[in-house]
Amino acid sequence: MFRTKRSGLVRRLWRSRAPVEGDGDAGTRGVGTPGCCLGKPGAGKPNPGTEAELKALTYSILKKIKEKQLELLLQAVESRGGARSPCLLLPGKVDSRLGQQSYPLPLLLYKVFRWPDLRHSSELKRLSCCESYGKINPELVCCNPHHMSRLCELESPPPPYSRYPTDFLKPPDSPGSVPASTETGGTAYSAPMGFSDSLALQERGEQPHWCVVAYWEEKTRVGRLYSVQEPSLDIFYDLPQGTGFCLGQLASDNKSQLVQMVRAKIGYGIQLSRESDGVWVYNRSCYPIFIKSATLDNPDSRTLLVHKVFPGFSIKAFDFEKAGSLQRPNDHEFSQQPRTGFTVQISFVKGWGQCYTRQFISSCPCWLEVIFNNR
């Protein structure tokens, strides 16, 4: 009975492995599709004979893992990271040879269950939900594939998704400028107005927040601002496990077919995480997200970049050090919003920008505005 259960867990884990490029189930299994700012589509496609070798190696490794650990790994893999799972602590210095290459045990599990094209640990970033790494035993490392994300390297090809002209952000009284209401199609922009909702929280003596989040459908803000006190926040549409900002619980009167289609694709959404160097955004969904942030840009650039982030990837959406250097007295971003400082805009599934049919984010079906508290 012991061997039967263990073997069954191993078989289920192998069936839940990440699809490689050209796999018949690539469109239906997992969120770890190859590609992104540094991805190379097709790099994960194995050559003939490798599949059998990988299967044999994976089986031999999994059969050495304790049964409870196998159950933990299966929970993480089958839920595709949707269910919060604890750390999977295994020896990190054990190498496994696949063909001519040798992989540390954690890297091999990440390749099998998340990213077949993964080559080096430098491409990875540990998520904030990983709490046990290096704390219990330095020889053990967390091998939970859904405690990791791929790292977006902005310097790597392909280039950012599109460029957004800063001319639209000139102060209204500057010569030749376009009124700020142009971006939202005649509606008042949310940051100065909506921030008063979060200021009321402080007046009531509640715990201070580091940011607030506004959810928009096209030009209409849906629901009140969500104030964030915890170091990380999951923003999702309809997820029974876990807690966070559930967009599906907000009352929306939007009947647009496109909005409803995009809503259904938000899924696990994103994770915002405040860390020592800045605020990171992790794409937990099955579809790309698009991000615009002043600190993702070159300070001397005349354009703001809209970055495309694929499923399973993380990007540092807000850099504390860069933010300080950008707070110049004549900076148009700060002169427009002196109380709120920076905002980061994130759209689900559909992008926007100068080279796209949607010029402004307010034309996107579903999007977020993250407003940072600079007090």
Residue pair 86/129 in contact (Cβ under 8 Å)? The answer is: no
Report the alpha-carbon distance of residue 344 to residue 293 in Å, rounded: 5
More confident residue, 154 or 100: 100
Taking only the tens place, the pLDDT of each residue in 233-271 is 999 998 666 679 999 999 998 889 999 999 999 999 999
Q: Report whether pLDDT(281) > 80.
A: yes
Binned at pLDDT 50, 70 and 90, residue 33 comes out as very low
Task: Give 210's contacts (C-beta < 8 A, 6+ positions apart).
Answer: 228, 229, 274, 372, 373
Q: Which whole number is the average pLDDT over 108-128?
A: 91
pLDDT tier for residue 133 given thresholds of 50, 70 and 90: low
297 has pLDDT over 80: no
The alpha-helical segments, DSSP class H, found in the chain are 2-15, 50-62, 67-78, 105-113, 190-203, 257-266, 320-326, 332-336
Name the residue among 271, 211, 222, 273 with its Cα closest to residue 247: 222
pLDDT at 191: 36
Integer angstrom CA distances of residue 28 from 16, 61, 79: 11, 26, 13
pLDDT in tens, 307-349: 999 999 999 999 988 887 776 544 444 444 433 347 899 999 9
Separation of alpha carbons 324 and 302, rounded Å? 19
Express each pLDDT in 15-26 by its tens digit: 998 887 654 444
Residue 327 has a pLDDT of 60
Say which range, 2-11, 117-126, 175-184, 204-213, has the weakest mean pLDDT: 175-184
Q: How far apart are CA 26 and CA 78, in angstroms?
A: 15
Helix, strand, or coil here: 111? helix
Strand order in the sheet with 289-292: 162-165, 303-309, 289-292, 343-348, 367-372, 211-217, 220-228
193's tokens? 């107005």
CA 121, chain centre distance (Å): 18
Of the CA atoms within 13 Å of residue 324, those in its CB half-sphere come to: 4
Rounded mean pLDDT, 267-282: 94
What pLDDT was estimated at residue 303? 66
What is the tens place of the pLDDT at every residue in 180-235? 322 333 333 333 333 444 455 455 556 688 999 999 999 999 999 999 999 999 99
Q: Output the pLDDT for position 205.
A: 55
pLDDT-based confidence at residue 50 (cuts at 50, 70, 90): confident
Q: How many residues does the chain have?
A: 375
Average pLDDT over residues 52-56: 87
Residue among 307, 310, 283, 285 at smallest CA distance from 295: 307
Tokens 């430098």, residue? Answer: 122
Q: Which residue has the higher pLDDT, 300 or 104?
A: 104
CA 70, CA 88: separation in Å to the nearest integer? 9
| Alpha-carbon gap, residue 328 to 312, rounded angstroms | 35
Task: Give the model's pLDDT for residue 157.
Answer: 38
pLDDT at residue 301 in the model? 64
Q: Where are the alpha helices (DSSP H) in 221-290?
A: 257-266
Nearest to 117 by CA among 61, 56, 13, 33: 33
Q: Is the dihedral of CA 188, 250, 237, 279 positive or negative?
A: positive
Longest distance between any two alpha carbons in the chain, whole Å: 79
The mean predicted confidence, pLDDT, of the chain is 76
What pLDDT score was predicted for residue 330? 46
- pLDDT at res. 13: 92
Q: Please report the pLDDT score of residue 90 as a whole number.
A: 87
